[in-house]
């Protein structure tokens, strides 16, 4: 994600992270063919299970805001790469009452956030299904930098935020960014409360004392981008026209006590249109925003419907989180050490918006940052080389990531640069990527050797010389 409330050039934003740190990643040229850690990621090796891939999650969740308790069933369709005697899901807190695999009851055990499932007779390679019944009082997750994610209570309900690892506080999942899946959310809440999630609203069924809201996200989504927000909201429905002729529905939910975010709602279609001209058609079948009083201090690019705290739907944040729908959400990093592929692109989108709307040009933003002292936090660790999870959303990832893109633009010229950006978004739509793939694409488009440029800006600590 990207925790970045009102992140702008002058603001060197921090953000949230997760649990464990590992050794530095290998050079990006080697990463493309490398296998991530046992859990599927080099930064959080105990998150996820690389031996299978999820195809879909179906989450049925009954939540009582007054008591902050839920009962839930998550159904998973997955594919095992090989025969398995057991497999792991990530689930923090909450009580598991039953696990079924292919309809048969399976043994399970808990070790911290790891839910280990042992089907009777094991699993054959190929497709399998899992059902997990669970419940209890979901909790917040506190990251190494002190920020909050997970199931965050609000004055009238809760908002669930998942970057980088908080989704495991409410969904048993393969909680690593390289495993993307489709989602259905069936959210049952007391009548008089609203419930939103990612994707398209399929139905809203009033059952007397309760109402069930069903949302479906058909485009593949990483677990960290999943979101649920439950409370008393004003709900606004509108639409916008995409450059490819589609009509994109917009659902926006704003806390009844925090204003209607009218300016942000008016601006959103303009931001989408601006970014479509730069990056290509909007990649999803729905858009919107959620403004809630979750006390987290950041905005987040939750897929199709970004989250903003009650004071956080400012222009810069809106531009940033909307750009993530292309870079980070549709085109998703495989491994957290490549987070600059999300944050650098979204920050550079802010620079482009500023230039178009009377603010500083990208070159002026670049120069202002480059002029900061060589001893400053911008210059270390290098964007892909951090070893502390608390640096996952530090200034190098955002600002030096954007500077990398501007250095590339200066090297190859504006025409080739924007061709690279559009091809990056279009060829990798709904996919998962590594930095090495961007380097190869940029070299093919420009006909230049660019590995030294990317290595200087992304791998080497300290201020690059000669700029």
Span 182-214, pLDDT tens digits: 999 999 999 999 999 999 999 999 999 999 999
HEC profile of 284-316 = CCCEEEEEECCCCCCCECCCCCCEEECCCCCHH
DSSP string, 227-238: -EEEE-EEEEEE
Label residue 32 by pLDDT band (50, 70, 90).
very low
Which residues are registered as beta bridge partners of 234?
254
pLDDT band at 28 (very low <50, low <70, confident <90, very high): very low
What share of the chain in percent tops pLDDT 70?
91
Tens digit of each residue's pLDDT (9 = 90 or more) over 421-430? 999 999 999 9
pLDDT exceeds cutoff 80 at 21? no
| pLDDT (tens digit per residue) in 342-380 | 999 999 999 999 999 999 999 999 999 999 999 999 999
Beta strands in 81-125 (DSSP E): 87-90, 95-101, 104-105, 107-111, 114-118
- Which of the two residues, 62 and 14, has the higher pLDDT score? 62
* pLDDT greater at residue 251 or residue 27: 251
Cα 34 from chain centroid (whole Å): 23
Residue 327 is classified by DSSP as B
Distance CA 216, CA 230 (A): 16
For residue range 161-173, list pLDDT tens digits in order. Answer: 999 999 999 999 9
**Average pLDDT, whole number, for the chain?**
92
Query: Among 24-28, 44-48, 211-215, which is the least confidently predicted range?
Result: 24-28
CA distance 29 to 455: 9
The CA–CA distances, whole Å, from 338 to 3, 265, 393 equal 16, 31, 11
Q: Which helix (DSSP H) or strand (DSSP E) does residue 57 occupy?
A: strand 52-64
* Residues 276-298 pLDDT 10s: 999 999 999 999 999 999 999 99
Confidence (pLDDT) at 450: 98
Separation in Å, CA 448 to CA 87, 416, 439, 455: 44, 11, 10, 15
Report pLDDT digits (tens) over 123-142.
Answer: 999 999 999 999 999 999 99
Among the residues of 194-261, which ranges form H helices?
none
User: 10 Å Cβ neighbour count for 77?
Assistant: 15
pLDDT at residue 36 in the model: 37
């Amino acid at each position: 994600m990207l925790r970045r409330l009102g992140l702008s050039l002058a603001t060197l934003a921090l953000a949230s992270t997760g649990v464990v740190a590992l050794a530095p990643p290998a050079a990006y040229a080697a990463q493309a063919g490398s296998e991530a850690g046992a859990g599927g990621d080099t930064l959080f090796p105990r998150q996820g299970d690389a031996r299978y891939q999820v195809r879909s999650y179906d989450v049925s969740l009954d939540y009582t805001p007054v008591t902050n308790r839920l009962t839930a069933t998550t159904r998973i369709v997955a594919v095992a790469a090989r025969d398995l005697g057991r497999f792991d899901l990530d689930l923090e807190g909450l009580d598991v009452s039953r696990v079924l695999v292919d309809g048969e009851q399976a043994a399970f055990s808990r070790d911290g956030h790891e839910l280990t499932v042992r089907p009777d007779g094991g699993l054959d390679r190929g497709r399998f299904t899992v059902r997990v019944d669970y419940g209890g009082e979901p909790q917040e997750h506190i990251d190494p930098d002190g920020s909050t994610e997970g199931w965050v209570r609000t004055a009238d309900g809760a908002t669930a935020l998942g970057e980088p690892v908080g989704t495991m506080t409410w969904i048993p999942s393969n909680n690593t960014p390289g495993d993307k899946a489709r989602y259905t959310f069936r959210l049952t809440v007391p009548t008089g409360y609203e419930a939103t999630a990612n994707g398209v609203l399929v139905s809203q069924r009033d059952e007397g004392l309760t109402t069930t809201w069903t949302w479906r996200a058909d485009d593949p989504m990483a677990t960290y981008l999943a979101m649920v927000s439950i409370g008393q909201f004003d709900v606004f429905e509108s639409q916008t026209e995409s450059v490819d002729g589609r009509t994109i529905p917009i659902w926006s939910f704003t806390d009844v006590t925090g204003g209607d975010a009218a300016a942000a709602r008016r601006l959103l279609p303009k931001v989408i249109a601006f970014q479509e001209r730069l990056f290509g058609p909007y990649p999803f079948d729905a858009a919107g925003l959620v403004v809630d009083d979750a006390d987290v201090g950041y905005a987040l690019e939750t897929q199709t419907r970004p989250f903003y705290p009650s004071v956080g739907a400012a222009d810069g944040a809106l531009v940033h989180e909307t750009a993530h729908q292309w870079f980070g959400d549709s085109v998703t990093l495989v491994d957290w050490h490549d987070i600059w592929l999300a944050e650098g692109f979204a920050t550079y989108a802010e620079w482009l918006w500023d230039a178009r709307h009377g603010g500083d040009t990208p070159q002026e933003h670049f120069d202002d940052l480059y002029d900061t002292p060589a001893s400053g936090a911008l210059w270390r660790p290098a964007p892909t080389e951090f070893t502390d999870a608390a640096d996952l959303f530090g200034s190098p990832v955002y600002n030096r990531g954007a500077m990398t893109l501007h250095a590339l633009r200066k090297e190859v010229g504006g025409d080739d640069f924007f061709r690279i950006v559009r091809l990056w978004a279009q060829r990798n739509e709904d996919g998962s990527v590594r930095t090495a793939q961007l380097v190869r694409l940029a070299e093919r488009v420009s006909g230049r050797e660019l590995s030294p440029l990317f290595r200087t800006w992304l791998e080497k600590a300290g201020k690059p010389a000669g700029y």
